[in-house]
Amino acid sequence: MDAVRAAIRDVPDFPKKGILFKDLTPVLAAPALFRQVIDGFAARWRDEGIARIVSVESRGFLFGAPLAYAIDAGLGIVRKPGKLPYQTVRESYDLEYGQDSLELHIDAVSSGERVLIVDDLLATGGTAGAAARLVERQGGTVAGFAFVVELGFLGGRDRLGDRAVQSLITY
């Protein structure tokens, strides 16, 4: 993963002053690096009985869809309120200054399915935790989480309980 790490671009003050954004678009632009990321996820999860990948808007979609294909799993998507066309369940979660919500189609996960939640980056764990609660409300079992990047200094992993967490790169 050294080449993937080297390709990640730091963008200071995005989306607001004081944030150092980890830009993964150079990884997506390089077929060998993108393949390395998907293969890294697939190697970890292929034999874990994952029936469904649930990926989180929007960058999570970029990694969740090819991973679902690679491990022969279905795909569900978590989006911000009002973006999904069918009936949804909603989960609210706390942000540093306020609250936000996510939605999942009511039929995105079947009861008893083993689900892997995929996103590009783990920061404080609020988004991933909300996605997990959505899955569990539909009767799914969260087998684990997969992230390209983890900002370890923010402690997000601790907010995800005792579930398996795969991060390909940790800062």
pLDDT digits (tens, 9 = 90+) for 125-163: 999 999 999 999 999 999 999 999 999 999 999 999 999
Pairing of strands 98-105, 88-95: antiparallel
Q: In the annotation, is 96 catalytic?
A: yes
The predicted structure's pLDDT at residue 98:
76
Residue 96: per-residue pLDDT: 65
Average pLDDT, the chain: 96
In order of their start, the domains of the chain are: 46-170 (3.40.50.2020)
Query: CA geometry: angle at 24 spanning 21 and 30, to 5°?
Result: 155
Indicate the burial class of 30 (C-beta count within 10 angstroms; 0-12, 13-18, 19 or more): middle
The catalytically annotated residue of 5, 46, 59, 114 is 59
Average pLDDT over residues 14-20: 92
Please state the pTM of the whole predicted model.
0.96
β-strand 9-12 against 20-23: which pairing, if any?
antiparallel
Query: Confidence class of residue 83 from pLDDT cuts 50, 70 and 90?
Result: very high
Q: What is the pLDDT of residues 25-67, one digit of tens each?
A: 999 999 999 999 999 999 999 999 999 999 999 999 999 999 9
